[in-house]
Chains A and B, each alone.
Chain A
Amino acid sequence: MSMTATIPAGTPMAAGANEPRGQRPKPFFTPKKIMLYTVLVFFSLYYLFPLYVMLTTSLKTMPEIRFGNIFALPTAPSFDAWFKAWSSACTGLTCNGLAPGFWNSVKITIPSTIVSIFIAAVNGYALVNWRFKGSEIFFSILIFGSFIPYQVMLYPLVMITRELGIFGSLQAVILIHTIFGMPILTLLFRNYFASLPQELFKAARVDGAGFWRIFFEIMLPMSLPIFVVALILQITGIWNDFLFGVVFAGNVNYPMTVQLNNIVNSAQGTPEYNVNMAATVLTGLVPLTVYFVSGKWFVRGVAAGAVKG
């Protein structure tokens, strides 16, 4: 449409009629636009390529992998490698596949997520509405602590959990996730509660409600968005954890990431790349699902982690 407004080349400038009018003519392809989309597409390929390779490799057979090329689509897609990765792939010692790791991860992720979010929500609430002497100092150390490398606290924590008699058990991993999830989640909840109108809290206090009643009956019902953000953050974070799983869970409770690494990196014999990739896809499936389902919320969670107190 905008082309009708342009002046045909060579036409003499008749007064008024041919002067610029309406939308500024914009060619659809400007060099700038071409550059822009070229760069974006190039980067998108970089980001998408591993996903493509992961999926296609997992659907191929070993001979096809050995003689074909990594870009090719599987000639006869088959989920055999997926089944093998799930139920019978071998780590160094056993051949039970990823399935036990998956269930361990579920057993770790669900309680860790619930406990850590609940504690952090209460913390955030107490920090905003029930300040006591020193509460801000504790909070500052907590935030500062979130930047300390885990290795610094790892050994003493092993000793503590050993003393408590839970080292090498699910309880130990849950405890550790609760501890290390606390800084970021507390920050999240504190900022959220601080953004709610304080009059609500004051009105409830005047009505005689106490700490827990206000928390459960006034604050929680208003906190759904931040719970969703925290949920996304924790589910992906805990599912993706490797270090705490290796150290605290004990052999029988290894989470999926640890099992996956064992299957791929310490398996004996000739490596089966299709099974490896199938196992990798399976491990990535839960966080990817959370990511694609939650969409904007994931971005909010990620960005919330960056907002400083």
Chain B
Amino acid sequence: MADTAAPLAMGAERVDRPGLLQRIFLHNVPAKIAALPMVATVLVVFVGCVAWTIYYSFTNSKLLPTGKFVGFDQYERLFATSRWNVSVWNLIAYGSMSLVFTLVIGFILAVLIDQKIRFESAFRTIMLYPFALSFIVTGLVWQWIMNPTLGLQGTLRGLGWTGFTFDWIANPRMVLFALLIAGLWHGTGFCMVLMLAGLRGVDEEVWKAARIDGIPTWRTYVSIVIPMMRGVLVTAVVIIGSGIVRLYDLVVALTNGGPGISSEVPAKYVFNYMFSGGNIGQGLAGATMMLLTVLIIMIPWAYLEFGGKGRRT
């Protein structure tokens, strides 16, 4: 707006130029009205609500949110609560296993499917259908299968294999693996689909060139194809990772945090404190910690994808 410095006498000539306010409110009006829900969602929910949660996590809100500012008190209490600490450790342990196994299994399945096999679409359909089901359904089915007396363990013992043990949902030390089995059942098919899209995106001539160079298949995957799939891999990590942080329904359905508190997760901790524990400040502090975790995953990704300008072709 260089012309704002022009003498006032010439102001009359500037009338036909839209001013700043006019440009914001009168230009492109229907589009702005149409985008109102989006703008409202962004401002109210993704900015407003998040800011509200962060702010009130520094207050001593109990049954109702109040304005009394108490600094990091809630956080100190959070990390002094064993249930929270167990939740965090569970998330780390479950999350890292789940992430690694989902990626590895998803990739291996995608590679197998990509071998010009027969019945490709049947295999793909079988692998992806669990992803269409809810976590509640997933959790309940596996709860039944892993039922120590009547499920897999009971059946195999009844068939004569008396030493067989598969009581993971009732065993505090193994319960995370029970969660893992159900989680992988639900999510590996999705990862496979992503990886398969990545594999199919690799130029076929690159494969031909590698064959002519005499590079063994496994070596081609490791040295050429996987590095070429960087984009898909990163996307998969971000999507799977932020799904893990949210982990809630599956735990509720499969173990409800038990036995004891051995399979608690942060999302459940936060939920309970907000809606039944009567200690909103604690819930909000926990929620803020979850946000922080996601940011730790997201920021390097956002930097890689959008920060290093012009690196991607």
A44 to B117, CA, bound (A): 14
Q: Residue among A44, A125, A292 with the most chain B CB within 10 A?
A: A44
Q: Is B41 touching A182 in the complex (CB atoms < 8 A)? A: yes
- Residues on A with beta carbons closer than 8 Å to the beta carbon of B288: 152
Q: Is A148 in contact with B239, judged by CB distance below 8 angstroms?
A: no
B residues 23-82 touching A (CB-CB < 8 Å): 23-24, 27-28, 30-32, 34-35, 37-39, 41-42, 44-50, 52-53, 56, 65
Which of A265-288 touch B at CB < 8 Å? 265, 273, 276-277, 280, 283-284, 287-288
Per-residue interface assignment for chain A, residues 36 to 48, with 1 indicating a CB less than 8 Å from any chain B CB and 0 otherwise: 1101100110111
Q: Is B145 an interface residue (CB 8 A)?
A: yes
Q: Which residues from A are CB-within-8-Å of B135? A: 240, 242
**Please, how many angstroms separate the alpha-carbon atoms of A236 and B129 in the complex?**
12
Assess the A154–B287 pair: CB atoms within 8 A.
yes
Contact A155 B53 (CB under 8 A): yes
Interface residues of A in 161-188 (CB under 8 A from B): 178-179, 182, 186
Q: What is the CA–CA distance of A150 and B275 in the complex, to the nearest angstrom? A: 14
A149 to B31, Cβ gap below 8 A? no
Contact B190 A138 (CB under 8 A): no
**Residue ID in chain A nearest B38 by CB atoms:** A123
Interface: B141 (CB within 8 A): yes
Interface residues of B in 91-109 (CB under 8 A from A): 105, 108-109
A193 CB-CB contact with B under 8 Å: no
What is the 8 Å Cβ interface bit string for chain B, positions 283-313, against chain A (1 contact, 0 not)? Answer: 1101110110010001000100100000000
Interface centre among A122, A132, A148, A247 (most CB of B within 10 A): A148
Which B129-146 residues have C-beta < 8 A from chain A? 129-138, 140-145
**B261 CB-CB contact with A under 8 Å:** no
Please give me the residue from chain A that is nearest to B302 by CB atom: A144
Q: Which residues of B contact A135 (CB under 8 A)?
A: 35
Q: Are B137 and A40 in contact (CB under 8 A)?
A: no
Residue of A48, A142, A257 touching B38 (CB-CB under 8 A):
A142
Q: Given A147-B238, A243-B249: A130 and B193 within 8 A (CB)?
A: no
Task: Tell me the residues in window 105-154 of chain A with beta carbons closer than 8 Å to chain B beta carbons.
Answer: 119, 122-123, 125-127, 130, 132-133, 135, 138-139, 141-142, 144-145, 147-154
Within the assembled complex, what's the spacing in Å between the Cα atoms of A167 and B220?
56
The answer to whether residues A261 and B46 also contact, given A40-B123, A155-B280, A240-B135 and a CB cut-off of 8 A, is no
Q: Which residues of A contact B113 (CB under 8 A)?
A: 40
Give chain B residues whose Cβ lies under 8 Å from the Cβ of A40.
109, 112-113, 117, 123
The one of B27, B193, B270 that contacts A299, using a Cβ cutoff of 8 Å: B193
Q: Which residues from chain B contact A82 at a C-beta distance below 8 Å? A: none
Contacting pair B49 A156 (CB below 8 A): yes
Partner of A138, one of B35, B239, B242: B35
- Chain B's closest residue to A242 (CB) is B249
| Closest beta carbon of chain B to A94's beta carbon, Å | 19
* CB 8 Å contact bits of A83-123 with B (1 = contact, 0 = none): 00000000000000000000000000000000000010011
**B235 on the A face (CB < 8 A):** yes
Q: Are A236 and B132 in contact (CB under 8 A)?
A: yes
B158 close to A69 (CB less than 8 A): yes
Are A70 and B298 in contact (CB-based, < 8 A)? no
Residue B229 is within 8 A (CB to CB) of chain A in the complex? no
Measured between beta carbons, the chain B residues less than 8 angstroms from A150 are 246
Q: How near does chain B come to A205, taking the closest CB pair, in angstroms?
A: 12
Q: Which residues of A contact B144 (CB under 8 A)?
A: 53-54, 57, 273, 276-277
Alpha-carbon distance A130/B31, docked complex (angstroms): 6
B84 sits at the interface (CB 8 A): no
Given A186-B38, A276-B144, does the pair A147, B298 have CB atoms closer than 8 Å?
A: yes
Q: Are B136 and A50 in contact (CB under 8 A)?
A: no
Please report the C-alpha to C-alpha distance between residue A44 and residue B147 in the assembled complex, in whole angstroms.
22
Q: Is B176 an interface residue (CB 8 A)?
A: no
- Judging by beta carbons under 8 Å apart, are B50 and A152 in contact? yes
Interface residues of A in 213-235 (CB under 8 A from B): none
Extra 8 A-B pairs, beta carbons < 8 Å, given A47-B127, A123-B35, A153-B46: A46-B185, A138-B42, A239-B134, A241-B134, A257-B249, A273-B144, A284-B137, A305-B239
Which residues of A pack against B, CB within 8 Å?
36-37, 39-40, 43-44, 46-51, 53-54, 57, 65-66, 69-71, 119, 122-123, 125-127, 130, 132-133, 135, 138-139, 141-142, 144-145, 147-157, 159-160, 178-179, 182, 186, 210-212, 236, 239-243, 247, 257, 260-261, 264-265, 273, 276-277, 280, 283-284, 287-288, 290-292, 295, 298-299, 302-303, 305-306, 308
Listed A/B pairs (26) with beta-carbon separation below 8 Å: A36-B112, A36-B117, A47-B185, A50-B141, A50-B185, A119-B38, A123-B37, A133-B23, A144-B46, A144-B302, A147-B298, A148-B46, A149-B245, A150-B246, A151-B283, A154-B274, A154-B287, A155-B283, A157-B45, A242-B136, A242-B249, A264-B253, A277-B141, A299-B124, A305-B239, A306-B239
Please list the 3 inter-chain residue pairs (A to B) with the smallest Cβ-Cβ separation, ordered nearest first.
Answer: A240-B134, A130-B31, A145-B46
